[in-house]
Amino acid sequence: MAKTLALPKEQLVKQALTQMQKSLADNTWTDRQKLALTCRILFENGHDSGLAGQITARGPQPGTYYTQQLGLGFDEITASNLLLVNEDLEVLEGHGMANPANRFHSWVYRARPDVNCIIHTHPAHIAALSMLEVPLQISHMDLCPLYDDCAFLESWPGVPVGNEEGELIAGALGDKRAILLSHHGQLSTGTTIEEACVIAQLIERAARLQLLAMAAGTIKPIIPALGREAHDWVSKPKRHAAAFNYYARQNLRQHADCLN
């Protein structure tokens, strides 16, 4: 006999969240391994753009972070070839050099103590939308983790290797988890590597759906209260971890070497 069919939505949501905490398993990968997995996941999902883009995560000491070597593509990143750098991009561990464009990551980390991972990429649909100088429009349930959580930088500051660009991008991001950068790409953040990876996946899907919808007609907005409800429902660490683990399982079938 069913016991929950008369329960209010609020109680059902609470029950589901409690079940998620107990049922969804955490992973045991190191931060280096999760970053390498993130590189492979994004490579397989359209974020590859040659040597463009950077993925970073805070390191063991304040003012340090892990990032990939300049000269390696996302599909070549492994846990062992990542660099540990300081805010001046000086290499503390590893060989080679960091991408000079990593400089704006230092500014974001300084402005946002809650951020532990930053993903900046130039995927095709984000890049195409950025050329139109229009903000991301969230109007579908699947995309609601970005509802009222994606900033927009309309003016392109040029190649982001200077401190001016770092200040501008960090300021435009504000307290949002992501930002669309006109004539450039996207930046996604997370309190965890898993969250940042999921948000980066989502923002490219959102751009693709927006371009499809714009080509067919006028996008209709969703009700703000429902957008916020869906945002909060999905934006849970356990949900992000479960999604990341799924993407990892998909990619480990052909990218198991990234854990080395």
State percent of the chain over pLDDT 70.
100
Residue 120 has pLDDT above 90, yes or no: yes
Tokens 């390498």 belong to: 36
- Beta strand ranges found along the chain (DSSP E): 54-58, 64-67, 83-86, 91-93, 117-121, 150-153, 178-181, 185-190
Q: Are 78 and 252 in contact (CB under 8 A)?
A: no
What are the pLDDT digits (tens) for 155-186? 888 777 778 889 999 999 999 999 999 999 99
pLDDT tens, position by position, 204-223: 999 999 999 999 999 999 99
Backbone angles phi, psi at 83, to 5 degrees: -100, 150
| Amino acid identity, position 245 | N
State the pTM of this model.
Answer: 0.95
Write down the mean pLDDT value for the chain. 95
